[in-house]
Amino acid sequence: MNTLNSLNQILTLLQQNAAKLGITLAGLMVAVYCIIILVSTDNSAVARAERWGHLRKVFAVAFIIAGTGAFIQFAQNLGGMVK
């Protein structure tokens, strides 16, 4: 029973901090991909175009993650007001 209570506390904290976690994860994704770009030594036009294409995908995924976290936070705050 104590394990279930601990798990419930962890999930509650994750839900309360969903927006912060989402934005942090999105920022980490962008930072890691930017480091990969900086380390890359291929300077051909095709490689540059490919890197920008991947970077656009990373930004799109980061936006989705951050937006989802913010939406969850908003929905929980709205639900708390309705109670």
pLDDT digits (tens, 9 = 90+) for 40-57: 888 888 888 888 888 888
> In sequence order, which residues have a C-beta less than 8 Å from that of residue 70 and are 6 or more positions away?
18, 19, 22, 23
17: DSSP letter: T
What's the domain count of the chain? 1
Q: List Cα–Cα distances, 13 to 18, 21, 40, 65, in angstroms.
A: 8, 11, 38, 18
Q: Which pLDDT belongs to residue 2?
A: 79
Query: What predicted TM-score, i.e. pTM, was given to this entire model?
Result: 0.60
Q: Which domain covers residue 63, as residue numbers?
A: 2-82
